[in-house]
Amino acid sequence: MGFTSKIKVRDGTNILVLQYNDEESPSHVYRRPLNFNDDGSRWSLFAAVESKEKFGPFVQRGLDINFLPESLYIEGATVNNIDDYITIVGRAAVNWSVNNFFASNELQGLSSGTQFLLALELGYALNTPDKMTVNTVLKGDTGGIGGQISFNFVNLLAAHEIAFVFAHSGARWLISPGIRPNTDLYEIRYQWKINYKNKLEARIRFREDAERVMGAEKKRDDTDFFLRYTFKI
């Protein structure tokens, strides 16, 4: 069995995480060609600076850095060509009241309390595996950008929320637990908080390869959805 551990140091809105990665069981979701066979890859570092204090329309600002030494196998795990894997991620969220956009008192009543939240997260991986290593068609460097933008209407008609999400994960963006590398994602989410004990949620999601993979005639795509009702006892 693998061994994992984390050491956290938190100071207000700043956080520092030092984690041990066993070769059989790393302490986070990582994608190939990240690999922890090399002794120099045992310890990795995550540092973040974040503020959720309201500043004008901004309700969140943050910056993250991931440092995974000697863990990126540029030409695959069978070739001993290893580099550090470093990513930088910035995030921000802004919030406005929707009421100001409605002219009539009747519409203002329907939208009472509704908020529009725009959230953006954008990351960049400094180092790169070869395109052949991550099975994309073209040669050379692979895309190192990962991020998402969401348009959220909160407290719509008092009890409803709806969000539109667009995300991209380049073929060398290897640390996202929710979005696989080399993927473009489009998603609609809906939530109805019926009352304290009852909630209805729905989602429809479309995913497509950002670049065509080797051996495929065209980009792969899939669509999935779920409908969930929650009742608290």
- Note the pLDDT tens digit of each residue in 17-74: 888 888 776 667 788 888 888 889 988 999 999 998 899 999 999 999 999 999 988 8
Rounded Cα distance between 113 and 226, Å, is 28
Rounded Cα distance between 210 and 130, Å, is 16
Q: Please give the average per-residue pLDDT across 78-86, as a whole number.
A: 83
Model confidence, pTM? 0.82
Cβ(209)–Cβ(221) under 8 Å?
yes
Rounded Cα distance between 62 and 91, Å, is 5
Bridge partners of residue 25, in order along the sequence: 22
4 — pLDDT class (breaks 50, 70, 90): very low
Q: Which of 129, 124, 3 is nearest to 75 (CA)?
A: 129
Q: Say how many domains are in the chain.
A: 1
Rounded Cα distance between 81 and 103, Å, is 63
* Residues spanned by the domain of 162: 4-231
Residue 226 confidence (pLDDT) above 70: yes
Cβ(57)–Cβ(93) under 8 Å?
no
Residue 206 confidence (pLDDT) above 80: yes
